[in-house]
Structure 1
Amino acid sequence: MAKKRANGEGSIYQRKSDGKWVGSISTDDGKRKVFYGKTKAEVREKLNEAVYAQQRGMLSVGPNVALQEYLENWLENIHKPTIRLSTYLNYRKLLDNYLLPGLGKIKLQKLTPQQVQAFYSQKINEGLSPKTVNNVHGVLHKALDNAVKWNMLPRNICDAVTPPRIPRKELNYLTSDQARILLKEVKEHRLEALLTLAITTGMRRGELLALRWQDINFTDRSLQVRRAVSYLKNYGYVESEPKTARSRRTIMLPEFVISILQQHREHQQEQEALAGKVWVSKGLVFTNAWGDYYSPSTMLKVFKRFLESIDMPHMRFHDLRHSAATILLAMKVHPKIVQEILGHSQITTTMDIYSHAMPSLQDDATEQWEDKFGKKSKKKGKK
C-alpha cells in the first residue's frame, strides 16, 4: 500500500513484482511524475526534490521547453538559494555570456552531446580560455543533473562530453629563503601582520580580510577561519561561509606570529583612538583607516608597491598561499596536516597542486632507505 503523504507531497510504495520502490507526484498541469529506486530512502529523496521543484514551478515545465527557459528557472528558483552570492553572480555571467546565446534555443530533450561538444570547440576557437569553458561545462552539468533527477531527461548528456584540457600552469611561489627575506623586510610595514599570516597559514585573501579578533585565541595560539569577504559590484562587501566545509578550520600559530598580531592590535587601538567617532567597530583584524573592511584592490596595490620596494619578483597575492604549502612540505610537515591548514576538501588536491615539492621528499625517503638498508648501514654495522 502506498504511504499517504500530505497533498502535494506525492506517494511512495514498494512493488511486489520486483521489490523496487516507487514514488509519484501530480504536477500542476495534471500529469504525474514517477520516480524509481532500490531503497525507500532513495525514492524519498527524489520525491522531496520534486516537491521542492514543484513549489518553484519546475515540474510543470513541458517536454518541449527550451534549454534557455529551463536554465533560467533552475538557476533563479532552484540553485540560487543554495549557493553564495558570488557563486550565483558567476553562474549568472556564464549563462548570460555563453550558455543562453549559444545553446538556449535548443529544446531541453533535443540537446545532444555532439551539439555541446561542438559548442565548446567553437568557444575555444573564438579564443575563450579552456578554464572558462570548463566552468561553463560545470554549470550545464549541474543543471542537467537536476533534470535527470526530476525525470525530465533519461540521462545527463554532459557525461558524454569532454571539456577542453586545462593547461597546467607552473606555480609561482617563494622559497624558504625568499620568504625569510620578505618577512624581514615587511617589519614595521602596514602589511606586516597580513603578509606574515598569509605566508605562515596559507589563508585566502577573502579569509584574511574577514578575520576578526574574536577568531584569534592568544592563549592557545590558534586561529579560526569562519568566514570570507569579497567586494561585489552593485552589492559592496559581502561576507559568506568559507569556500568549502573543510575551509572552516582551526590553525595553530607560531609564537612569533602571535607576537606580531599582538603588536598589530596595539597599533590598531591607537588608530581607533585617533579616529574617534568615525571609527567603525566591526572587530576586524585588518581594516582601512576607519575600522571598516580593507579594500582588496587597495591592499593589492600596497602589496605590489611593497614587492617593488624590496626588489622582489612580481607575484599574485594568492601565490603566498602556494608559498605556504610549498614551505610546509619542504619542512617535512605531513601532507595531511598541510591539507588541514590550507582547508582543501581532499588531500588529492594538496598532493596534485604541490607535487613540485615532492621530489625533495622522495630524496629524503631514498636517503633513509640507504641509511637503514644500503651500503651506509653496512659500514655502520662494521664499526
Structure 2
Amino acid sequence: MAHVEKRGRNSWRLVVTIGYDEKGVPIRERETVQAKNKTEAEKLLTIFESSILTGKYVKPEKITLNRLFQIWDENITDGDLSPRTKQEYINIYKKRIKPLHGHMKLPDIMPIHILNFVNGLKKDGARLDGKEGPLSASSINNCYKAYNSLLKFAKKMKWISHNPAEDIKPSTPEQVETEIYEPEDLIKLTNYLSNLEFRWEVLVAISLTSSARQGEIAAIEEKHVDLDRGGIHINQALIVKKGVGVVLKETKTKNKRFLSLPVAVMDMIKKLIHIRTQEVFSIGNKRVWKDHLFLFGDVFGKPIRPDSISQWWGRFMERDEFNELGLKRIRFHDLRHSSLTYLSTRGIRPKAVQKRAGHTRIGTTFDIYGHTLIEEDKEAASHFDELFNKPAK
C-alpha cells in the first residue's frame, strides 16, 4: 500500500507500506520529494514503490552517481528530453562522468568536483577522438548539461537538498558563423533543381521555401499537405533512436505550424503525391508503415532516414555539375538558415520569421538572424532622416 502526503508548497511525502511487525504495526518507508502537484507526486511515488518492491531501493545518503544514472535512465522519458539528447547524455556519462565520479555518493559530490570536471575538459588531451587540443566550448557545455541533468533529477527526488552543478557555469559556447547562400546563389540552385531526381528536387525546394528542419521534412505525409490553403502542416518529425531505428516524434504544441509555400512548389508536391499513391497501389500488401503515406518514403512506404538527407546532399556537392554552378559547399541544414536569412533581408517581420522557423522564443530568432534584422532596422531608421534634415521654413 502506498500513498502521498502533502507537506508544504511543492513538497510531498511518499509513503510505502512494506510489511507489518509482530504487533501488526505497519512498517513504512518514507521519502520527501519536490513536485508541482499531486499527479506529479504520484508519478514519483510509483518510481519509489517500484524501487522498494524490486529490492533496488537504497537510502538517499548511500546512493552513488552510478545508481542515480540507472534510475535516471529508467525514468527520464521523451517528454523530459528528446531521444537524441538523452542518448547524447548517456554517452557522455559512460565515457566521461562515470570513470571520474561514478563511484561517489551523492552527498559527497561538491561544486569543486563539477568545476574540476569542467576544467579538465578544457585541457589538451581531453578529446576522445585522438586529436590534439581541448574540447570545443559547445562540447564542454553539453558535458556540463549531462551532469546537471542527473543532479537536477536527484534534487527533484529529494536525494540531495542542493544541486552542486548550479553553482558552476561553463563558458558560453561561441556562436559558430553559419555559411549561407546569398540570393544570387539561391537563384542558381533553384534553376538547377529540375536536373535532379524528382523527389530530391521537391525535397530541396521544400527546404528552401519552408525553412523546415531536416527531420520535419522527412516526416511530411500526404495528410499534412493542404492544397486549398497552399501549404503544409508541420506537426511531427522523424528521428533515429538508438536500438530502435526511425521513429515518429510529435512536435511540441508550441512548435506546430502551418507553412505557406509558393504555387510552383505546391504543384511539385501534388505531382509527387500522385507518384507515391501509384507506388503504394502497385506494391499491394508488401507495404510497410501502412497508416502513413510519406512524401519521401521508398516504394514500400518506409520513410527516409533524416540523416540520409544530409548524406545525399554531401554526395550531390561532389558532382561536377554542382561545381559548375559555382556554389560554395554548405551543410544541408544551412539551406534552412539561407531560407530564413533571405526572408529577414526581404523586410519580413521578425515574428513571422520566428513562426516559420518554429522557434519557441523570438530571442532565438534574433540570436541567429539578428545581424540581418539589425541591418533592416537601421535601414528603417534611416527613413526618419528626412524629417530632421529638411530646412526650416
Q: TM-score range by the shorter chain?
A: 0.7 to 0.9
The gaps in structure 2 that reach 5 residues or longer are 19-26, 128-134
**What is the CA–CA distance in structure 2 between the aligned matches of 1:131 and 1:22, rounded to whole Å?**
35
Give, in angstroms, the shift of residue 31 of structure 1: 4.4
**What is the CA–CA distance in structure 2 between the aligned matches of 1:212 and 1:43, rounded to whole Å?**
38
**Are 1:358 and 2:370 an aligned pair?**
no
**Are 1:328 and 2:336 an aligned pair?**
no
Q: What is the number of residues matched between the two proteins?
A: 362
Quickly say closer, same or farther: Cα 1:85–1:146, change in 2 above 3 A.
closer
Residue of 61, 68, 71 corresponding to 1:70: 68
TM-score in terms of structure 1 length = 0.83
Give, in angstroms, the shift of residue 151 of structure 1: 2.2
**Are 1:122 and 2:120 an aligned pair?**
yes
Give, in angstroms, the shift of residue 245 of structure 1: 3.7
Displaced runs of 4 or more, over 6 A: 273-277
**What is the CA–CA distance in structure 2 between the aligned matches of 1:338 and 1:285, rounded to whole Å?**
25
Residue of 207, 216, 229 corresponding to 1:207: 216
**What is the CA–CA distance in structure 2 between the aligned matches of 1:175 and 1:285, rounded to whole Å?**
28
Residue of 312, 315, 324 corresponding to 2:330: 315
Q: Which amino acid aligns with 2:5?
A: S
Quickly say closer, same or farther: Cα 1:107–1:298, change in 2 above 3 A.
closer
**What is the CA–CA distance in structure 1 between the aligned matches of 2:87 and 2:32, rounded to whole Å?**
34
Residue of 75, 93, 96 corresponding to 1:95: 93
Residue of 117, 135, 140 corresponding to 2:142: 135
Moved more, 58-67 or 354-363: 58-67
Quickly say closer, same or farther: Cα 1:233–1:177, change in 2 above 3 A.
same
Give, in angstroms, the shift of residue 83 of structure 1: 4.3
Moved more, 258-267 or 151-160: 258-267
Q: Which amino acid aligns with 2:117?
A: F
Task: Give the equivalent residue in structure 1 for 2:51.
Answer: 57
**What is the CA–CA distance in structure 2 between the aligned matches of 1:101 and 1:248, rounded to whole Å?**
41
Moved more, 268-277 or 120-129: 268-277
Task: Give the equivalent residue in structure 2 for 1:219.
Answer: 228
Q: Which amino acid aligns with 1:286?
A: F
Quickly say closer, same or farther: Cα 1:93–1:35, change in 2 above 3 A.
closer
Structure 2 counterpart SS, 1:345: coil
Quickly say closer, same or farther: Cα 1:353–1:100, change in 2 above 3 A.
same
Quickly say closer, same or farther: Cα 1:80–1:68, change in 2 above 3 A.
farther
Q: Which amino acid aligns with 2:235?
A: R
> Given that residues 288 and 295 in structure 1 are in contact (C-alpha distance below 8 angstroms), is that contact kept between their aligned partners in structure 2?
no
Give, in angstroms, the shift of residue 223 of structure 1: 0.9
Q: Which amino acid aligns with 1:300?
A: S
> Given that residues 222 and 293 in structure 2 are in contact (C-alpha distance below 8 angstroms), is that contact kept between their aligned partners in structure 1?
yes
**What is the CA–CA distance in structure 2 between the aligned matches of 1:235 and 1:173, rounded to whole Å?**
34
Identity of aligned residues (%): 21
TM-score in terms of structure 2 length = 0.81
Q: Note the alpha carbon deviations across 1:114-155, whole angstroms, 9 max, x for none.
A: 111111111221133332222222222222223223322111
**What is the CA–CA distance in structure 1 between the aligned matches of 2:276 and 2:4, rounded to whole Å?**
59
Quickly say closer, same or farther: Cα 1:13–1:166, change in 2 above 3 A.
closer
**What is the CA–CA distance in structure 1 between the aligned matches of 2:31 and 2:307, rounded to whole Å?**
50
